[in-house]
Structure 1
């Protein structure tokens, strides 16, 4: 690997914030308008974006080299999408991997004994602060019937399917799977598997890119220049 390749890494880049206001407060996320300067002498720039609590997703891989996919209706795109289990980080103080285990149990009635970080993403960094951590879950078990979560609304229509990893890769490359978390996770899992999973990070690895780890401006904050 070249020296340049080893040095490729996203990094924090705080800029001078002039103002931050909340234009819309939603049930899950807000739309905020922030004005900032790229440097002290630069002109003010204003950007509107979604302030998001972040999320976790899970690529489940069983001992037959199959991944768990679920089909769910997504109203903004008016489509049933094949996805991987995922959920919001909306419970204060919950560890990221614990949130992933909870979402896996709630959406798929599945438990796992082996957890690793598979990939970290910003799903739409030009318009949203949403940070997503995808875990690889192995050592699969089932949630007892008496303890299973009652799914409602769109989740009530969830359909589960176990798909061979190589077949899932083909579905991504042929344009049959459109979920960004599923596509990225499936391709990453293929690479990780072919490398015997040796490059994966422990489940409790730091996640400094998540907004909770570097602070964020509160709703309605205004910072004077």
Structure 2
């Protein structure tokens, strides 16, 4: 049996040998209920510093719930920052630092669309907009669906509309710009890749190294 040759690391991709963007100073601009805004002064490669505004976030989970007919569950809800209703996957915030993200996903599936699932796996982890926020959302694939009673928890969820569409139609909607929520687009395309056999899903308890923790740690310290 031949030995596997050691993997060669491209020096340009080896972060341990490249410039470290150290934070020289930081100050809080806003600390709210679900996010914080801080201003960092970061050391640049040339020796100068640059200001970087960073939004800290709790992190979130979303669910691509696929039924036995191959239909995907979508919701349509109002999103105030963009001023309109969007088609999305069921999703929600992780409540606290110790919350299991899979448990959070199961909770959101019940709360938003009144469904539970027998089988769970991880589809994709998506950084919402890494140029200014540490928010990352983990999207799960849920199958073996069954209906449970849904409790409406607020006015926004009362306005929510849920529909089931063929998975291929959801892909068309994403590519046509009818689904624009970034995490939902990623989840729809990942669900299609897994369902078609193009790529495997990960285990439901797969490591999540990019899960945001800084804002959750603030809440623990309060």
TM-score, length-normalised on structure 1? 0.83
Matched ranges for 1:63-78 at <5 A = 63-78=68-83
Aligned residue pairs, count: 206
Find out whether 1:43 has 2:48 as its counterpart. Answer: yes
Find out whether 1:209 has 2:210 as its counterpart. Answer: yes
- Cα offset, 1:18, TM superposition: 1.1
Aligned partners of 2:88, 2:124: CA distance in 1, in Å?
15
String of CA shifts for 1:40-87, please: whole Å, max 9, x gaps.
x62112101211111110100111000000010011111111111111
Native 8 Å contact 2:117 2:143 kept in 1? yes
Unaligned stretches of 5+ in structure 1?
220-225
SS of 1:91's equivalent? coil
Question: Hey, what does 2:158 align to over in structure 1?
Answer: 156
Find out whether 1:97 has 2:98 as its counterpart. Answer: no
Matched ranges for 1:79-158 at <5 A = 79-143=84-148, 145=149, 148-158=150-160
Question: Hey, what does 1:26 align to over in structure 2?
Answer: 32
- Cα offset, 1:218, TM superposition: 6.7
Native 8 Å contact 1:20 1:217 kept in 2? no
Unaligned stretches of 5+ in structure 2?
1-6
SS of 1:211's equivalent? coil
Matched ranges for 1:1-12 at <5 A = none
TM-score, length-normalised on structure 2? 0.85
String of CA shifts for 1:5-62, please: whole Å, max 9, x gaps.
xxxx9989963221121101122111110112145x6211210121111111010011
Distance 1:10 1:52, change over 3 A: farther
Question: Hey, what does 1:165 align to over in structure 2?
Answer: 167
Distance 1:133 1:11, change over 3 A: farther
Task: Judge which range, 14-23 or 153-162, deviates more.
Answer: 14-23
SS of 1:59's equivalent? strand
Native 8 Å contact 1:107 1:151 kept in 2? no
